[in-house]
Chain A
C-alpha cells in the first residue's frame, strides 16, 4: 500500500526557515512526479511545487525563489526547504504523488499533512 508521511512542521517566526519532509513507502520517490500542496486554515488547496522523476522542478509564483523542493533517494524521501516565511505561508502542507501522461496530471496518493505556522 502506498504511504506518504509528512513531518517537520511547527511554529516558525516571520522571516525564518523550515524544512519539511515526506517519507514514502511501497514506491520509489525518484521514479515518480512528487508534489507539495498546501492549505491555509479554512481555505482551499494551493499547489506549491513539483519535482519530476528526471529532476526538473517547478514552483507556484507565490513561493518561487523562497522554496526549494528536493529528494534523497537513499531515504526515499521528498523535502521542501522554505525560507523567508511569512504569515501567508501558514498552512497544512501535503505531499502527493502525481500521475501524468497524455498531457494531463492528477494526484493519486496524498499524505496526512504537516502543519506549518508562521507567527511571532
Chain B
C-alpha cells in the first residue's frame, strides 16, 4: 500500500463545477502539502496545513489528522485550473517528502 494515495487519478469538469480531490496517508505527519503542476513542469505550492482548513481564493484545503485524510476543493472551476494536483507529506521522523501520484484535472469551457 502506498503511503500517500490520491483520488481520483483523472478528473474532468465543466467550467463552474465544484471540484474535490482527496488525499489519504498512512504515516503520522506534521503537515501536508498541496501542490499544483501545470504542463511544462513548474510546481506551485498551494497550501501547507497541519490542522483544520485553509482558504485561498477559490481553493480550500481541509485536513483531518485523526482520519489521515485531506481534501482540496476548487469552487467555480475555470479552465485555467487545469493542472495536476499533488499532495505530499513528510515521512515519519524526517522531512523527506513522500508524494501522491497526482490528480490530473481538466476543466472545459
Q: Do A and B bind each other?
A: no
